[in-house]
Structure 1
Amino acid sequence: MRIAVFDVTEPIVRRLTATLFAGQSIASLGMTAAITVGSIAAAELFGTTALGGVPTTMYVLGTALGAYPAGRFMNLRGRRAGLALGFLVGVLGASFGAFALMGLIPLLLFAGHLIMGLSRGALDQGRYAAGDLVTQEHRARAISWVVLGGVVGGIGGPLFIAPAGRFAAQLGLNPLAGPYLAGAILFLFGSAMMFALLRPDPRDVARQLARVDVTLPVDSTRPRTFWEAFRSYNVQTAVAAMMLGQVVMTSVMVMTPLQITEHLHHTLEDVSLVIAAHVTGMYATSLITGRVADRVGHARTILIGAFLLILACVLVPFANDTWRLAAAMFVLGAGWNFCFVAGSSLLTDSLRPNERARIQGTNDLLVGLVAAAGSLMSGFVFATIGYIGIAFAGIMLAVSLFVITLWIVQRENALPRTE
Structure 2
Amino acid sequence: MNAIRPHSDVPPNAEGPSSRGNATVLAIAQGLFTASIAVDLTLTGLTGYQLAPDKSLATLPFAMITVAAAVVTLFASLLMQRLGRRWGFIIGAVTGGMGGLVSVWAVIHGHFWLFCIGTAAVGVFQAFAQYYRLAAADAVEEAHKARVISIVLTGGVIAAVLGPALAAWSRDLMSTVFAGSYMVVALLGFLSALLIGVCYRDVEPTGVLKQDAELPPRPVGVVLRQPISLAALANNAIGGVVMMFTMTAAPLAAVACHHTIDDGANIIQWHLVGMYAPSFFAGRLIKRLGMPAVLFAGMGLSALCGIVAMSSTTLSSFYVALLCLGIGWNFMYVGGTALLASSHRPSERARVQGTAELIRYVLTALATLGAGPVLERYGWTSLNLVTFPLLALAAAMTLLWVRAARRAKAMPANVLSSSR
TM-score range, shorter chain: 0.7 to 0.9
1:174 partner amino acid: V
- By how many angstroms is 1:108 displaced? 3.9
Q: Which range moved further: 98-107 or 346-355?
A: 98-107
| Distance in 2 separating the partners of 1:326 and 1:178 | 31
- By how many angstroms is 1:58 displaced? 2.9
Q: 1:347 to 1:182 in 2, by over 3 A?
A: same
Q: Secondary structure at the match of 2:228?
A: helix
| Distance in 2 separating the partners of 1:309 and 1:83 | 31
Select which of 193, 199, 204 maps to 2:195.
193
Residue aligning to 1:3: none
Residue aligning to 1:374: 367
Q: 1:311 to 1:216 in 2, by over 3 A?
A: farther
Give aligned pairs, total.
Answer: 398
Q: 1:366 to 1:190 in 2, by over 3 A?
A: same
Q: 1:314 to 1:43 in 2, by over 3 A?
A: farther
| Distance in 2 separating the partners of 1:88 and 1:64 | 18
**Corresponding position: 1:274 with 2:267:** yes
1:77 partner amino acid: L
Residue aligning to 1:396: 389
| Distance in 1 separating the partners of 2:246 and 2:377 | 15
Q: 1:77 to 1:382 in 2, by over 3 A?
A: same
- By how many angstroms is 1:226 displaced? 1.7
User: Does the 8 Å CA contact 2:40/2:62 hold for their aligned counterparts?
Assistant: no
**Corresponding position: 1:93 with 2:87:** no
**Corresponding position: 1:125 with 2:131:** yes
User: Does the 8 Å CA contact 1:58/1:110 hold for their aligned counterparts?
Assistant: yes
- By how many angstroms is 1:385 displaced? 3.5
- By how many angstroms is 1:337 displaced? 0.8
1:284 partner amino acid: A
Q: Secondary structure at the match of 1:223?
A: coil
2:351 partner amino acid: R
Select which of 218, 229, 236 maps to 1:224.
218
Q: 1:161 to 1:317 in 2, by over 3 A?
A: farther
Residue aligning to 1:242: 236
Deviations 1:196-220 (A, max 9, x none): 1112x13xx32xx45xx6x466532
Deviations 1:175-210 (A, max 9, x none): 4x44333111111110111011112x13xx32xx45
- By how many angstroms is 1:153 displaced? 1.8
Q: Secondary structure at the match of 1:350?
A: coil
Select which of 135, 143, 151 maps to 2:149.
143
Question: Considering only aligned residues, what root-mean-square deviation do their CA atoms show, in Å?
Answer: 3.0
- By how many angstroms is 1:360 displaced? 0.9
**TM-score scaled by length of structure 1:** 0.84
Q: 1:187 to 1:259 in 2, by over 3 A?
A: farther
**Corresponding position: 1:313 with 2:306:** yes
Deviations 1:132-169 (A, max 9, x none): 2211111111111111211122121123232123x34x
Residue aligning to 2:175: 172
User: Does the 8 Å CA contact 1:57/1:373 hold for their aligned counterparts?
Assistant: no
Q: Secondary structure at the match of 2:112?
A: coil
Residue aligning to 1:302: 295
| Distance in 1 separating the partners of 2:60 and 2:249 | 10
Q: Secondary structure at the match of 1:149?
A: helix
Q: 1:371 to 1:353 in 2, by over 3 A?
A: same
Q: 1:120 to 1:234 in 2, by over 3 A?
A: same
1:118 partner amino acid: V
Sequence identity, in percent?
27
Q: Which runs of 5+ in 1 are unaligned?
A: 1-7
Q: Which runs of 5+ in 2 are unaligned?
A: 1-13, 410-415
| Distance in 1 separating the partners of 2:218 and 2:374 | 40
- By how many angstroms is 1:376 displaced? 1.2
| Distance in 2 separating the partners of 1:117 and 1:239 | 22
Q: Which range moved further: 343-352 or 215-224?
A: 215-224
Q: Secondary structure at the match of 1:332?
A: helix
Q: Secondary structure at the match of 1:311?
A: helix
| Distance in 2 separating the partners of 1:152 and 1:228 | 39
